[in-house]
Amino acid sequence: MKITRLALPALLGLTVLPAAAQTAAPAAPTEDEVILHAWTWSLDTIAANLKDIAEAGYTYVQTSPVQTCYVGEGGGMALYSQPGDSVSGKWYYYYQPTDWKIGNYMLGTRDDFKAMCDSAYKYGVKVIVDVLPNHTAVDHTAVLPDLDNAVGGHQNLYHERGFTPITQWNDRLECTTGEMGGLPDVNTENPDFQYYYLQYVNDLINLGARGFRYDTAKHIGLPSDPLDPRSTRNNFWPVATGREAAKGLSLLMPDSLYIYGEVLQDKNVKETEYAEYMDLTASAYGHSLRDALRQGRLPATLLTDWNHPVDPSRLVTWVESHDTYCNEHESADLTDDQIRAAFVFLTARQHGRPLFYSRPAGSTRANYWGNNRVGARGNDEFKHPQIVAANKFRTAMHGQPETITTGADDRVVQVCRGDAGAALINFSDTSVKLKMPTSLPDGQYTDAVSGQEFKVSKGTIQGTVAPLTTYILYR
């Protein structure tokens, strides 16, 4: 499929916000928000489903990367094709930029992006865009002339070590300037690149984007990191978050944007310094939570320890991400019931900002790719009644402190929010008769989804919970 290359509007001296943004000042992000990761949904598909997304209680919808990208396998639209398949293609081609302008053959055009944002505004949903300034396509010869010219020539687009594969992942110079997985490392400290990239980001904001997820964020250097020989300052993050200008151009509306980075945890990762600029992914907590699902019980450490040095109010939490699902299918064996139970637990909690990853439509534990088409809507789990109930519970419990208790050998978890409500989650695959302390006042309580009743008497809650099922109770 041929890509139509679209011209950027002039963003230098004039800020042109969409009509929707001009009618009301956007609200600053809050911790009560929930993100739907509409993974590989086309822009048109997201737009067509925004009513359902809003009614399901999501505050944000996160798109896949929308910049111009490498056209792989003849432009085939399979999520992941195998030899002999009738349709070719791979989902990850949109993670291989060839230019930073809105629109690619996999997800849609700049006009499609604007139409989606207009629809999101109508339904009160904010748009997060997955952005990736760290690298270009593996085939760097596919980079388009406008990008090369903007940085003063192709050689200026990359770090000096940009084509040297990383071998020591915990070495900060290698990690932030070397080639990762065959992807050449962009010189994100080049002021010419920063200026060009900011035009792309500001164009997204002008069309209605209200947040960004930074892919491979830990591979972009911090001010304290060692310098690539072609750089004089590691100042990408001050520029990208609106603290500094690049050649006179600044990020639009920095105080109204929600920005978080994929800073996967490992040795020698400077989480606290990254958190000076953006929220971070709680990848280690997600890993521990998946282990708990496989054991059918939630250990006490997951109730109190977020496995992260940063305050939990600054974390994006998930049960799984698109990487854990797709890369070696590390989480893809978990059933939808298991994912749902753990997501309700995360969403019922006071802190963190939960993200629900939309699995492919038709996917099973034997067929992870399901219907295997880029652009299609994911399965219906994003609007499952238990997920919807948890999303709405999170909003209703604004400001209420959490108290978490476990019962039945840690198989059942209760998240109380003050005395205003509680979520019950059965992590096991067996039915459990529970009897555990609660902060709910005495009385009869009815689950918001199933109608199941629970009794609270003298500070103890009793009832029966079905296998891998969740319950939302209000005072």
Stretch 277-296: mean pLDDT: 97
Please, which pLDDT band fits residue 4 given cuts at 50, 70 and 90? very low
- What ranges make up the beta strands (E) of 142-276? 209-214, 258-261
Q: Which of 283, 285, 247 is nearest to 265 (CA)?
A: 283
Q: Is the pLDDT of residue 14 over 60?
A: no
31 falls in which pLDDT band (50, 70, 90)?
A: confident
The H or E element spanning position 369 is none
DSSP letters spanning 312-324: GGGEEEES--HHH
- How does residue 368 score in pLDDT terms, banded at 50, 70 and 90? very high
Q: Is the pLDDT reported for residue 113 higher than 60?
A: yes
- Please report the pLDDT score of residue 17 as a whole number: 45
Catalytic residue of the set 33, 99, 203, 215: 215
In three-state secondary structure terms, 285 is helix
Which tens digit of pLDDT belongs to each residue from 124-165?
999 999 999 999 999 999 999 999 999 999 999 999 999 999
Bridge-based pairing state of the strands 35-37 and 60-63: parallel
Reported as a pLDDT band with limits 50, 70 and 90, residue 29 is low
10 Å CB burial of residue 93 (0-12, 13-18, 19+) is buried
Residue 157 in contact with residue 208, Cβ under 8 Å?
A: no
Split at pLDDT 50, 70, 90, the class of 375 is: very high
Q: What is the pLDDT of residues 37-56, one digit of tens each?
A: 999 999 999 999 999 999 99
How many domains, in total, are found in the chain? 2
pLDDT band at 386 (very low <50, low <70, confident <90, very high): very high
pLDDT of 10 above 60: no
**105: which residues sit within 8 A by CB, 6+ positions away?**
1, 2, 3, 69, 71, 75
Of the candidates 260, 281, 302, which is a domain's last residue? 281
Phi then psi for residue 29, to 5 deg, are: -60, 150
Task: Verify that 274 and 411 share a domain, yes or no.
Answer: no
What average pLDDT does this structure show over 236-260? 98
Torsion of CA 429, 433, 437, 442, to 10 degrees: 130
Residue 394 lies in a domain: no
In a domain, 397, yes or no: no
Residue 329: inside a domain:
no
SS3 category, 455:
strand
Percentage with pLDDT > 90 across the chain: 91
CATH number of the domain encompassing residue 152: 3.20.20.80
Using CA atoms, how far apart are residues 225 and 280, in angstroms rounded to an integer?
18
**pLDDT reported for residue 20:** 38
The string of pLDDT tens digits covering residues 405-424 is: 999 899 999 999 999 999 99
- 143 in a domain, yes or no? yes
Based on the fold, state whether residues 275 and 424 are members of the same structural domain. Answer: no
Q: Which domain holds residue 71?
A: 19-281
Q: For the chain, first and last CA: distance in Å? A: 55
Cβ-based neighbour number of residue 66 at 10 Å: 26
Average pLDDT, the chain: 93
Indicate whether 164 belongs to any domain.
yes
In the chain, what percentage of residues exceed pLDDT 70?
94
Asked whether residue 376 is domain-assigned, the answer is no
How deeply is 142 buried, as exposed, middle or buried, from its count of CB atoms within 10 A (0-12, 13-18, 19+)?
Answer: middle
Is residue 360 within 8 A of residue 77, CB to CB? The reply is no
> Given 265, 281, 297, which residue is the final one in a domain?
281
Q: What is the CA radius of gyration of the chain?
A: 23
Structure tokens at 326: 């797709």
Instruction: Give yes or no for residue 171 having a pLDDT over 80.
Output: yes
| CA-wise closest residue to 408 among 456, 336, 448, 465 | 465
CB count within 10 Å of CB 427 equals: 25
Residue that terminates a domain, selected from 281, 307, 335: 281
Q: Is 5 inside a domain boundary?
A: no
**Residue among 179, 262, 410, 447 flagged as catalytic:** 262
* Domain annotation covers residue 368: no
Q: Is 215 marked active-site? A: yes
Query: Residues 293, 413, 359, CA angle at the centre, nearest 5°?
Result: 40
Q: What is the pLDDT of residue 27?
A: 55
What's the whole-number mean pLDDT along residues 187-193?
Answer: 98
Judge whether 262 counts as a catalytic residue. Answer: yes
Q: pLDDT (tens digit, 9 = 90+) per residue, 426-472?
A: 999 999 999 999 999 999 999 989 999 999 999 999 999 999 999 99
Q: Are 185 and 219 in contact (CB under 8 A)?
A: yes
Spatial CB neighbours of 6, under 8 Å, sequence gap ≥ 6 = 101, 102, 103, 109, 110
- Two tokens, residue 6: 């679209």
Q: Are 158 and 185 in contact (CB under 8 A)?
A: yes
64 half-sphere exposure, CB direction, 13 A CA radius: 35
Distance, in Å, from the CA atom of 419 to the CA atom of 403, rounded to the nearest integer, reads 10
In tens, the pLDDT along 304-360 reads 899 999 999 999 999 999 999 999 899 999 999 999 999 999 999 999 999 999 999
Q: pLDDT tens, 208-223? A: 999 999 999 999 999 9
E strand or H helix at 437: strand 432-437
